[in-house]
Amino acid sequence: MKFSARLRAWLLRPGVRIKMMGIVLALVLLLGFGITWEVRASMTTALTARLEERGVSIARDLAAHSTDLILINNTFALHQLLQDTIQNNSDLRYAFILDENNQVLVHAFDRGFPRGLAEKNTLAPGERAHTVVLASDEGRIHDVAVPIFEGRAGSARVGLTETSVYAAVDELTGTMLLTTLAVSLLGIGAAYLLTLILTRPILTLVQVTQAVARGDLSRQAPPWGEDEIGQLSTAFNRMTAELAQAQRAMLQRHRELAALNAVANAMNAPAPLAETLDRSLRALLQSLDLPAGWVFLLDHEGRRVQLTSWVGLPIEIGEREVEIGLHGCPCTVALQNKQSIVITPLPERCPLRDGRINGGEAINAHITVPILSHDRVLGVLGVASAHPQALGADEAKLLEAVGQQVGIAVENARLWDDLRDKERVRGQLLEKVIRAQEEERKRIARELHDDTGQAITSLMVGLRAASDACDSIARERFNTLREIAAQTLESVKRLARELRPAVLDDLGLAAALERYIANYRGNFGLAVDLQMTGFHDDQRLPAQIELTLYRVIQEALTNIAKHAYAKNVSIVVEHKRDLVVAVIEDDGQGFDVRAILDSPLEETKLGLHGMRERSELVGGRLQIESAVGSGTSVFVEIPIT
């Protein structure tokens, strides 16, 4: 298997020209040598047969002429006859005559008659001729025996060599080999011309293919007629043309995507709207390799034109366009008809005719497209170039997509501005509400402490005086009333402290929390652990932050007492360098935070929203983590500014 694979690889390694020439040469040589061998074999057989026939003819002629000489016993004449016969036949090597007893009468050997030669070929009775092939130093000898006078006078023997046969065969073989060589040379030449005709267009196709592989789709294969190679060249040229068209479309699509991506990246960066649009315009111009562009926006009412971005052109032109509201400019078509417009060359009334790109070349073409959002025109986007061929339908289509993208960004930015304004107003209102609440809490706490507390104290003094003046039964009733008044006074004082703890204003957050938690333990019987870290004795947080943390922790503890069914509560307040962190955890039953926050019942989520809004008003954030059966954790983080 490996040998066949190596053989196949070795056979397929040479080029097409060598393969074709090798095939033609091999066929010519195979046919030439095959025919030569066949002709040589056939001719050898035919000449050998003719040699035997000739030997029989010579032997019979010799027998006919020697009959009378044998009868008259003329040995000299017989010997002369043999010599004449040998001289007249060049391929005759010997001749001799035997008597009826197979004894040599006369022979033509110079060195004596070879021993045993007479017995090599014998005639059967009645046989007209008999031939045997003998081996000798000169090659094969065809020995022919012919009877003389029907054998009664003996027999005549001659020996003919095959030298003439092989000489003729060799001569013919040489001629055929020369012919084969000539035909081979002609075949090689014809194969070379054929391969030149066939491989030249193929090699040209290979070169064009390599150029196409390097990205040069402008190369075309030359036509080579109407044959298969010509059809291949035509199909290849059609393929390269389609590839070039597809490449142009792909490059155009890549250019569009790059421009859209550049604009999208520029618009996604957090920045004011004007800065975002200017950055988007510059990214668009850079991706399209254009020198100048502009963005005009309409105000919210769609009446006044605002110059948002102006790149590569004198700013005076843009300011003049703002003054006239784009009236008289071809760009108004984009505003009125909501369609892009390609202007080249510039008309007389175009304001850009007086401008120069970066102070150099004149503008010869520009495109203006509407900035749309939900079929509403928000402004126009334009680009300009000094080369008219640089701007066309493809660029207009791309700019339309960019205009829609910019329109959505402008609409979203305006919506976000409105939302931020509303959130700012809402925050201000919420801050005023909370401040009013705190002021009202402070006023109510002060009135409870001063007015109500003093009234109850006076009532207790009066009850004591009245009890002293009465009998024992009335005194007992007055004492009971005094105890009720004392409890009421304590409740009023506790309520006043919860509404606005004076210790928070006087001593700070740590003291206020410690006092509140001490009362909380007594009121609800929960084990509450408070840890204050990072606070120094004389260090105070800003009053607003202290109040926010106090109210958040107060609300969290109130929710735990009402809903958590907890046994243990842990509170950690950590003061770091530039922020304060509070964590409130309990081991209660927990709850589904998302379900509570999404509940339509306001009373179930007012406390949670109030905690979050208080934290956000001072720039902090609040996070609640809880699950049913796993307790609740409240995390508060407020920066210190």
CATH of the domain at 386: 3.30.450.40
Domain for residue 618, yes or no?
yes
- Amino acid 211 reads A
pLDDT reported for residue 501: 67
Domain for residue 359, yes or no?
yes
pTM of the entire predicted model: 0.45
Structure tokens at 533: 């870290």
- CA 35 to chain CA centroid, Å, is 63
Asked if 393 and 530 sit in the same domain, the reply is no
Note whether 441 and 500 are within 8 A (CB).
Answer: yes
Asked if 164 and 304 sit in the same domain, the reply is no
- Buried residues in 331-367 as b, exposed as e (16+ CB within 10 A): bebbbeeeebbbbbebeeebbbeebebeeeeebbbbb
Residue 497 pLDDT grade (very low, low, confident, very high; cuts 50, 70, 90): low
Residue 302 pLDDT grade (very low, low, confident, very high; cuts 50, 70, 90): low
Containing structural domain, residue 155: 13-175
Domain endpoint, select from 120, 154, 175:
175
Note whether 92 and 158 are within 8 A (CB).
Answer: yes
The residues facing 156 across adjacent strands are 97, 146
Identify the CATH number of the domain in which residue 41 sits: 3.30.450.20
Asked if 275 and 156 sit in the same domain, the reply is no
- Locus of tokens 């197979």: 102
In sequence order, the 6+-apart residues with CB closer than 8 A to the CB of 45 are none
Full strand arrangement of the beta sheet holding 104-107: 104-107, 92-98, 154-161, 139-148, 130-136
- Angle, in degrees to the nearest 10, between helices 393-447 and 472-499: 160
Asked if 23 and 155 sit in the same domain, the reply is yes
Note whether 276 and 408 are within 8 A (CB).
Answer: no
End-to-end CA distance of the chain: 84
In sequence order, the 6+-apart residues with CB closer than 8 A to the CB of 183 are 28, 32
Pairing relation of β-strands 154-161 and 92-98?
Answer: antiparallel
- Per the structure, the count of domains in the chain is 3
More confident residue, 17 or 282: 282
Domain for residue 472, yes or no?
no
pLDDT for 427 beyond 70:
no
More confident residue, 478 or 554: 554
- Amino acid 388 reads P
User: What is d(CA 627, CA 641) in angstroms, rounded to the nearest whole number?
Assistant: 34
Structure tokens at 319: 């300011």
Domain for residue 107, yes or no?
yes
- Buried residues in 62-80 as b, exposed as e (16+ CB within 10 A): bbebbeebbeeeeeebbbe
Residue 619 pLDDT grade (very low, low, confident, very high; cuts 50, 70, 90): confident
Under the phi-then-psi rule, with left for phi > 0, alpha for psi from -120 to 50, and beta for the rest, what region is 471? Answer: beta
- Amino acid 354 reads D
Helix, strand or coil for residue 439? helix
Element housing 165 (H / E)? helix 163-213
Structure tokens at 584: 């409130």
Residue 437 pLDDT grade (very low, low, confident, very high; cuts 50, 70, 90): low
For residue 261, which of 379, 384, 413, 405 has the smallest C-alpha distance?
A: 405
Angstrom CA distances, 187 to 28, 33, 200, 252, 420, stand at 7, 15, 19, 54, 93
pLDDT for 569 beyond 90:
yes
User: What is d(CA 376, CA 300) in angstroms, rounded to the nearest whole number?
Assistant: 11
pLDDT for 331 beyond 80:
no
Phi, psi of 500 (to 5 degrees): -155, 90
Asked if 38 and 160 sit in the same domain, the reply is yes
Asked if 48 and 156 sit in the same domain, the reply is yes
Domain endpoint, select from 402, 429, 445:
402
Asked if 169 and 277 sit in the same domain, the reply is no
pLDDT reported for residue 352: 73
- In this structure, what DSSP letter does residue 120 have? G
User: What is d(CA 391, CA 216) in angstroms, rounded to the nearest whole number?
Assistant: 25
Pairing relation of β-strands 376-385 and 292-298?
Answer: antiparallel
* 239-248, 329-338, 464-473, 615-624, range with greatest mean pLDDT: 615-624
Element housing 549 (H / E)? helix 543-559
User: What is d(CA 582, CA 575) in angstroms, rounded to the nearest whole number?
Assistant: 9
pLDDT reported for residue 603: 58
- Percentage of the chain beyond pLDDT 90 is 6
Domain for residue 73, yes or no?
yes
Domain endpoint, select from 402, 419, 435:
402
364-415 residue pLDDT tens? 888 888 888 777 888 888 888 888 777 777 777 877 777 777 777 777 777 7
- Locus of tokens 């929203």: 609
Identify the CATH number of the domain in which residue 525 sits: 3.30.565.10
Residue 344 pLDDT grade (very low, low, confident, very high; cuts 50, 70, 90): confident
pLDDT reported for residue 224: 65
pLDDT reported for residue 498: 61
Residue 586 pLDDT grade (very low, low, confident, very high; cuts 50, 70, 90): very high
Domain for residue 103, yes or no?
yes
- Angle, in degrees to the nearest 10, between helices 228-268 and 393-447: 20
- Amino acid 318 reads G
Note whether 126 and 149 are within 8 A (CB).
Answer: no
What mean pLDDT is reported for the chain? 79
Residue 34 pLDDT grade (very low, low, confident, very high; cuts 50, 70, 90): confident
Helices (H), 355-501: 393-447, 453-468, 472-499
- CA 168 to chain CA centroid, Å, is 77
pLDDT reported for residue 423: 65
Domain for residue 408, yes or no?
no
User: What is d(CA 400, CA 389) in angstroms, rounded to the nearest whole number?
Assistant: 19
Note whether 346 and 353 are within 8 A (CB).
Answer: yes
Pairing relation of β-strands 154-161 and 139-148?
Answer: antiparallel
User: What is d(CA 35, CA 336) in angstroms, rounded to the nearest whole number?
Assistant: 94
Angle, CA 477 vertex, CA 473 and CA 483 arms, to 5°: 145
Length of the chain equals 641
Neighbours of 102 (CB within 10 A): 12
Domain for residue 492, yes or no?
no
- CA 548 to chain CA centroid, Å, is 55
Helices (H), 214-272: 228-268
User: What is d(CA 498, CA 438) in angstroms, rounded to the nearest whole number?
Assistant: 11
Lowest mean pLDDT among 85-89, 443-447, 461-465, 588-592: 443-447
The mean pLDDT of 438-467, rounded to a whole number, is 65
The mean pLDDT of 118-131, rounded to a whole number, is 86
